[in-house]
Structure 1
Amino acid sequence: MPDWSYQTLFKPALFKLPAERARDVTLRAMGTLSSLPGGTWVIKTMGHMESYSDLHNVIWGTEFKYPIGLSGRLDVHGTAHKALAPFGFGYFEIGPVTVEKVESGQSVYRDLVHESIVYPDLPVNDGLDAWIRRLQRKRAHSKPYIIRLSGMPGADIQEAIRQIERMAGRLAAYADGFVIDLYAGERRAQHVLDAVEEAGKRLDAASCGKPLLLYVPADFPEPETCKLVLAADRDIWKGMVIGDAVHMRDESGDWLVVGPAAKQPGIAKIRLIRELCGEDWPIVASGGVNEPQDALELYEAGAQLVQLHSGLVYAGPGLPKRINEAVVYRKTCGTDAEPAAFWRSWGWMCFLGLGMVIGGILAWLIASTLVVLPYDIEFLGISSAALSAANLRLLPFMSHDRITLAGTMISIGVLYFMLARYGLKAGLHWCKTALLASGGVGFGSFFLFLGYGYFDPLHAAVAVMLLPMFVLSMRGRADTPSRTPPNLHNDKLWRRAQWGQLMLVSLGFALAAGGALISYIGITRVFVVTDLEFLCASPDMLKAINEKLLPLIAHDRAGFGGALFADAIALLAAALWGVREGERWLWWMFLLGGLPGFAAGFLVHFTIGYTDFWHLFPAYLAFGLFAAGLYLLYPFMAGRRLAEKSQQSRCKARGIGRNLSNKYE
């Protein structure tokens, strides 16, 4: 459920359901998908979260691949941890966990105006035994678990410590750390201050050496926060977690409001703790992260880790990836990335792309004049004049197949050239993956030409010439983060771009399905109904003209289908993984890469008079998706205001990036 589908399709539908129902439906669906064969691969493919060494961090002896965690209260049953792991999360919080199950008669609800989630002020969960049963199962991911422990509602502070001590002992085997919440229920600040030293000593023994993190609510008074920090023994308490909620009371009871209201109090507490403790006491911040800018502000204030909650609901599951990209950009901005050597990798792909463009142009010229080449005539054993005499529409029909193939070849060439020139050269991993997938399909589709026993020497020669270029271009590593300033806000421009991305992703899937279908038809029954209506002939009648005619036509159709599928894979990968604010080259690649294919398809059909509406309907629909996607994405990817914004972002990032680098080293 990437942002382009969440913001446009799923979120409007889910927000019509009650908050808890929508949460459960979403998490259960994602959990089910991840449990299916290939489900995790699908999730990873949709998001393509890349791992950069600049994001890796070791805290408390535990490696965090990404500096972002997921709040336990969002996935209260741990339903979708496996599904969410590839989204860019570095760890998962579990809890709050209590010794017994805690339920509430009050409902969770959404505050749409403030983009917040409102919970009853209770540690609602399934209880210790239920969580132990879940954790005893084989972990389906490698991300650390930070378990938040809380006393039962109504328990006094001493009883709460005893309960937490018991839970820590039983859960230590499954935890990479514990968050100790002494504030639940009626316990007050002074109670916690009086007991923090005792709690630390007792829990240090029970936790089996696992780090203990002291929880403090976002709206905890600053004077008491100072006392708490000074009272905490840092040999025992290995860090602090700033809560993600502020308290609210009305006539219906006490509530926790998770959302933007917790950000500024959280930032103030982080800065206060930093003043008192310096830079060496880890802080986890979890309040008010609804867009990447929020997370950057928390990191800049002094947090080592940031935890998501309401932002995942309102911004979408792509938020952790956007934050990771923003952090990497801020840390690397101002440093020079050495481009890949021309002859080492990307130059060969540029030559391959240019070769495809030139080959496509030549194929277009031949298909619009001679139509059939000498080796085609030799294979058939009759002249083109004899073919035309047998059926006046036969050569135009063959021309229509070959010109559409030529247009697709030009389209592939443009995509490959620009992905190499701007992607491989810059070391972008997603570009290399896109080219590898598309090229593998494209070269593999050569064997479709043999489906009816026809060997095309020209296609074979082209494949033999281009394949070494493809292999040479895939050498070397591609793991450099993008140097384009990332989008930091969930503004109108970003929301509009989600619709544009949806259009292009849909186009990519549609073209891939179309290419696969055309290839299948080409190597089986060769024609669709409208083809035979245009030819005014049946397959038997065409066989009567020449026994080898169907294999020749089938070769053209299967080849076109394979080329279209390869083209679609490159387009789809770029639409899925490459769309970012300010990536002008990619927008122009979509435009210049798409036009030859559509131009070839429409021009040849109208030129030869093959204008059946239902035959061309898929092409009309595809062009509509293409035009709409480019229109909606233009302001986000190529708008005029982005140049100034990009420069401002770079200047600001140079200062912030230095600070972030210090915090992660």
Structure 2
Amino acid sequence: MPDWSYHGIFRPLLNILPPNVSRELIHRGMSFIATLPFQIGPQVIHFLGREENSPLIQKNNHGLTFHNSVGLSGKIDPFLSGTRAFTNLGFGFLEIGPVTAKQTTHFTTPIVDRKAEAIQFPAKVESVGIEKTIDHLHKVKKKQPLFVRLSGTYEELSFMIKRLEQFADGYIIESSFPVLIQETNKPIFFSTVPPSESLIDSSFAGIVLEHTEKDIRLHEKVKKLRNNGYKGTIITSGGIKEPEQAIQLLDAGADFIMLSDGYVFAGPGLTKRINEALLDRLDYSPPQLHGWFAYWLFGLFIMIGGLLALLFSMTTVVLPYDELFLGMKRESIMTFNERIMLFMAHDRMTLAGTMISGGIVYMQLAKHGVKHGLKWAKQAIDIAAIIGFLGIFAFIGFGYFDWLHFVFWLVLLPVYIYGYMKSIGVTGTPSSKNRKNDVIFRRGLFGQLAFVLLGFSFVLGGIIISTIGMTTIFVPTDLAYICMPAEMMNTFNENLLPVLAHDRAGFGSALISVGLLVLMLSLWGFQQGNRWVWWTYLIGGLPAFWAGIYIHFAIGYTTFIHLLPAYIALGLYFIGLILSYTFFNKTEARH
């Protein structure tokens, strides 16, 4: 669940429910998606959130590889109902528990202070017990180290360690039993609230410092331990609501950090934001790839094709090969029904605007994304381009094969393949200037939501238009505008409907492809400080909206219900531009 959906859609609804009900609802819902068959669930989660990490922030500790330094506290998921989802959300490690030998008979509802953005977790240890924990862990497809927090007597701890050896990569205990290190070859960390000086010579692998609301200066505790010579691993738990606080702790000497209540209030994207901020501080510039220019040319050719299509739609409308297929000149169609020609201009101009916009977005993704090694930008181009190429099959069902379109397809294909092959090695992940949960960040989330909805609406609209083009060709408002049923047009010229179907399905296919570009740019490219993304939206969106709305007024096809989707899309476009402007163009914090 990305932040744009969490804050913009789900959190207001979840706040109405009791804390334990909303927690289980969202955890079980995410786990259901994560466990869909054939890896569909993880792919959906990855598509919406892209939680991959750069190797530059990877860590190795105690023989374990951590993709990043950010973990999730077990306090967030006491019933382990969300563990299968959390493994897919980009964490470097997960804490399981606390686990006790026996199940707790009564579970306390956490107290949520929404104003202070704090959660008071149960004071006493509450657990589903060792047996249920093992049942849950059997179902988890582990993608990162798991640290199991244990609570109990020495005998109980020893017993649970033996039972959990096949699942745990390390243990966190709340009682000082150094002798337990003889029970396992895996690291054991001692959890403590006030760090005692005696821990400096501890035989434990490290310590877990617990954050409390009464003492918010957790980073100073970490710094004091390091200054006093403590060499063990330091893990902090809680005290992080925004990336800046995570950076403070890591700079002070913490090896790893665990998110707790701050994760609930900041949103599930906090992990990703921290990792992007850490990468941003490295100021790493990946080597430029040669394949980006081929992708840029691919976009340029599409834009040029769109400009030519725009020219034709504003002048002759019907091209010579159209007339050859129809067996008549454009004047004959005009004499029969002028509005048929205007309707063709309507479809062809909207296609032209969509192509111009798509070409601009392709060029921007190539220049600012692929050129700088961003894997998401390459994948966005690949997905949209392949869908676009396949779109040629959407408009041949009625028997009209557009040779000019096919030649254009043949020109684009080798350019795309060259760019694809030369950029196969792209592995870079994005960085971000975002450090605070300030007004810039909050507005940006709603701007992102608007653009995501815009991308989804384009894809859905393209599917609907393509389907109509391959089946009925017209909607009722089309026939009302033309003032003629399809049967009469077919009687006039049996090749006329295939040409109109070709135009309609071709536009729908292009809209799907461009919609995917907008959607993926909105899902994957929303990092603070990415000015080029905002300008891509602005410049890339104008041709499609101008052509799509202008032509309707130019030909008098202004039926409100027909234009309503375009008006809604235009509204989302402007809302997204306004709300995301400061997010992309300014980096200083505002509270």
Alpha-carbon shift at residue 447 of structure 1 (Å): 1.7
Q: 1:339 aligns with which of 288, 292, 302?
A: 288
Alpha-carbon shift at residue 62 of structure 1 (Å): 1.2
Residue 192 of structure 2 corresponds to 216
Residue 163 of structure 1 corresponds to 156
Alpha-carbon shift at residue 423 of structure 1 (Å): 1.0
Which AA in structure 1 matches 2:154? I
Alpha-carbon shift at residue 139 of structure 1 (Å): 2.8
Which AA in structure 2 matches 1:402? R
Q: In structure 1, list runs of 5 or more residues that go unmatched.
A: 152-159, 183-195, 247-256, 647-665
Which AA in structure 2 matches 1:505? V
Residue 64 of structure 2 corresponds to 62
Residue 512 of structure 1 corresponds to 459
CA shift digits 1:441-489 (9 cap, x unpaired): 1111012231212111111111111111111122222223446x42011
Q: In structure 2, list runs of 5 or more residues that go unmatched.
A: none
**SS of 2:537 mapped into structure 1:** helix
Q: 1:268 aligns with which of 210, 220, 224?
A: 220
Residue 204 of structure 1 corresponds to 181
Which AA in structure 1 matches 2:23? R
CA shift digits 1:117-150 (9 cap, x unpaired): 0022111111112212222x24323222100111
Which AA in structure 2 matches 1:96? P
1:242 aligns with 2:209: yes
1:490 aligns with 2:437: yes
CA shift digits 1:73-114 (9 cap, x unpaired): 111122122222222101111111111122546431111232
Give the distance between the partners of 2:511 and 2:135, measured in 1 at CA: 50
Q: 1:173 aligns with which of 166, 170, 174?
A: 166
Residue 98 of structure 1 corresponds to 100
1:596 aligns with 2:533: no
Give the distance between the partners of 2:429 and 2:332, measured in 1 at CA: 59
Moved more, 427-436 or 82-91: 82-91
Residue 468 of structure 2 corresponds to 521
Give the distance between the partners of 1:531 and 1:263, measured in 2 at CA: 64
CA shift digits 1:205-230 (9 cap, x unpaired): 32x3111111112xx2x5xx002333
1:375 aligns with 2:351: no
Give the distance between the partners of 2:301 and 2:55, measured in 1 at CA: 36
**Structure 1 pair 105/367, CA: closer, same or farther in 2 (3 Å)?**
closer
Give the TM-score normalised by structure 2: 0.96
Alpha-carbon shift at residue 618 of structure 1 (Å): 0.5
CA shift digits 1:608-665 (9 cap, x unpaired): 10011001110011101011110111111124xx4xx49xxxxxxxxxxxxxxxxxxx
**SS of 2:208 mapped into structure 1:** strand
Residue 199 of structure 2 corresponds to 228
Alpha-carbon RMSD across the aligned residues, in angstroms, is: 1.6
Q: Is the 8 A contact 2:378 2:426 kept in 1?
A: yes
Alpha-carbon shift at residue 606 of structure 1 (Å): 0.4
Alpha-carbon shift at residue 35 of structure 1 (Å): 2.0
Give the distance between the partners of 1:107 and 1:138, measured in 2 at CA: 26
Give the count of matched residue pairs.
Answer: 585
Q: 2:229 aligns with which of 270, 277, 282?
A: 277
Give the distance between the partners of 1:105 and 1:172, measured in 2 at CA: 27
Structure 1 runs (4+) greater than 4 angstroms displaced: 103-106
Q: Is the 8 A contact 2:53 2:429 kept in 1?
A: no
**SS of 1:425 mapped into structure 2:** helix
Q: Is the 8 A contact 2:285 2:372 kept in 1?
A: no
Alpha-carbon shift at residue 345 of structure 1 (Å): 0.8
Q: 5 Å matches for 1:569-580?
A: 569-580=516-527
CA shift digits 1:28-78 (9 cap, x unpaired): 111112122322211111001222111221111111112111111111122
Alpha-carbon shift at residue 162 of structure 1 (Å): 2.1
Q: Is the 8 A contact 2:107 2:126 kept in 1?
A: no
Q: 1:75 aligns with which of 77, 90, 99?
A: 77
**Structure 1 pair 609/553, CA: closer, same or farther in 2 (3 Å)?**
same
Residue 116 of structure 2 corresponds to 114
Residue 606 of structure 1 corresponds to 553
Q: Is the 8 A contact 1:353 1:412 kept in 2?
A: yes
Q: Is the 8 A contact 2:490 2:497 kept in 1?
A: yes
Give the distance between the partners of 1:593 and 1:569, measured in 2 at CA: 14
Alpha-carbon shift at residue 589 of structure 1 (Å): 0.3
**SS of 1:277 mapped into structure 2:** coil
**SS of 2:88 mapped into structure 1:** helix
Q: Is the 8 A contact 2:343 2:482 kept in 1?
A: yes
Which AA in structure 2 matches 1:448? A
**SS of 2:71 mapped into structure 1:** strand
Residue 356 of structure 1 corresponds to 302
Residue 249 of structure 1 corresponds to none
Give the distance between the partners of 1:130 and 1:284, measured in 2 at CA: 26
Give the distance between the partners of 1:497 and 1:103, measured in 2 at CA: 44
Give the distance between the partners of 2:244 and 2:378, measured in 1 at CA: 29
Q: 1:43 aligns with which of 42, 45, 48?
A: 45
**Structure 1 pair 108/127, CA: closer, same or farther in 2 (3 Å)?**
same
